[in-house]
Structure 1
Amino acid sequence: MSADAQLAPLAAFVFAGLFSPGPNVVMLAASGARFGVRATVPHILGVAGGVGAIAAAAGLGVGAALAAAPWLAAGLKAIAALWILRLAWSMAAAARRPRGADAGRPMTLAEAALFQWVNPKVWAVALAAAAAGFAGGGGPAAEAARLALVFSGLNLLVCVFWTSAGGLLRRLMASERAHRRFMTALSALMAASAALIFV
């Protein structure tokens, strides 16, 4: 099958995998609600770029290296779980403060991009896409670039959607109590996603 014919099923697979709730979705919705969409733009761009880099790595065969070194995969999972729990704690702490007293800040572009390297959901989707027969028949570098473009482009749309949803909720949550409950619920979802890493 040609590369063009494979693009639609690849795009559908990637979109479904990245749109569903996971650490990025929760963090972006929370950032949109806490800081607004404009302030979250570097976070959005970092996620999209980082996800593209992971997809390229998967296309170049990093999955085989991880399978050959289970200790490395286990270490990445442990780091991811600790990082996610730290982020969940930060969100829970923000929920206890009045909105005007929130001393936090959005993730930077570099922080968001680096987080993708320990984000188990992104790795799972990227490795599955690389192994699912969506290849367009090019060489390894061409396929890696193709995966990177599809992942980054679609993830940019996903990131904008979830950040905008958080920004809309920011405007709708007039009371401090509603804001606190929303942020507490997001922090609980974030903490729960850490446990899913080991499933």
Structure 2
Amino acid sequence: MTSELLLAYVLFCFATAGTPGPNNMMLLASGANFGFRRTVLHMAGVSCGMGFMVLCMGLGLGGVFKAFPVLHEILRWAGAAYMLWLAWKIGTATKVSDGRVGAKPMTFFQAVAFQWVNPKAWAMALGAVTTYAPEGGAWTVIPLLAAIFTVVGAPCNAAWAGFGQGMRPFLDRPAVLRTFNVVMAVLLVISLYPMMIEHGKAPPLTARALAVDAPAIVVTPWRG
């Protein structure tokens, strides 16, 4: 993997992990409702979950979904339904948590599992593999790509949760918090729209879908 391609991949990771999407909307809401410290496991789960997904896609899982498209359809709609439920939970939250109430932030393993029902995560992982992994070099390059995605994603996740933490002093009024949570819920639902619309216009889970959620990055694909 050349240094130019490595730099392009790092920029790709920053652009996709840092731009608005389901993960970042949830991290923002979690930081605001639970605080940065209680959101750390959520952040770690997102980063590790994305890295693990890149690893799995690069080592053959993407071929399974290509051979059986119905599996992708099931996950796509199940993921959309789950995120609508999460949006409802966020939108109906009524008070900032101080750790003594029943509400809890997402755990590490919940955040890891969430990546598998997140349409943007699927597009990001497959885009990373199909664009940056050289043919015949999967066993050496794919783990590197997965590790880079995990490392680069961590500060992006922390930034969104930190922004939410910074908003906590302004959310002590019930009406303000309720408005904030409703806005976060709406944005989470809106983040689903591009991926759902993209279906039918192009084959599912292609790098082309990334253009919906992230700034365009012009790269020269590896030719082996």
User: What TM-score, normalized by structure 1, do the two folds share?
Assistant: 0.90
Please give the residue correspondences for 1:23-172 in structure 2 after superposition, counting only pairs within 5 Å.
23-94=22-93, 97-99=94-96, 103-132=102-131, 134-135=132-133, 139-172=137-170
Partner of 2:6: 7
Contact 2:32 2:164 in 1 (8 A): yes
- Partner AA of 2:58 in structure 1: G
Deviation readout 1:49-93 (Å, 9 max, x if unpaired)? 100001111222322321221101100101110110110010011
Deviation readout 1:81-123 (Å, 9 max, x if unpaired): 01101100100110xx233696421000010001111111111
* SS, match of residue 105 in structure 1: coil
SS of match in other structure, 2:92: helix
Distance in structure 2 (CA, Å) of the matches to 1:78 and 1:50: 20
Is the partner of 1:130 in helix, strand or coil?
A: helix
Percent sequence identity over aligned pairs: 34
Aligned to 2:183: 185
- Aligned to 2:196, the other structure's residue is in SS state coil
Q: Is 2:33–2:95's contact at 8 Å kept on the other side of the alignment?
A: no
- The answer (yes or no) to whether the contact 1:32–1:166 under 8 Å persists in 2 is yes
- The aligned amino acid for 1:19 is G
After TM superposition, the structure 1 stretch with the greater mean CA deviation from structure 2, 59-68 or 45-54, is 59-68
Higher mean C-alpha displacement, 153-162 vs 3-12: 3-12
- Give the aligned CA root-mean-square deviation in angstroms: 1.9
The secondary structure found in structure 2 opposite 1:60 is helix
Pair 1:173–1:99, CA change in 2 (3 A): closer
Specify the code of the residue in structure 2 equivalent to 1:143: V
Deviation digits for residues 23-45 of structure 1 (CA, Å, limit 9, x no counterpart)? 10000000000000000111111
Asked if 1 retains the 8 angstrom alpha-carbon contact of 2:25 and 2:184, the reply is: yes
Deviations 1:146-197 (A, max 9, x none): 1111110111111100000000011233432222111110011112233444
Aligned residues: 195
Q: Distance in 1 between matches of 2:192 and 2:137?
A: 36
Moved over 6 A (4+): none
The 2-side partners of 1:170 and 1:143 are apart by 41
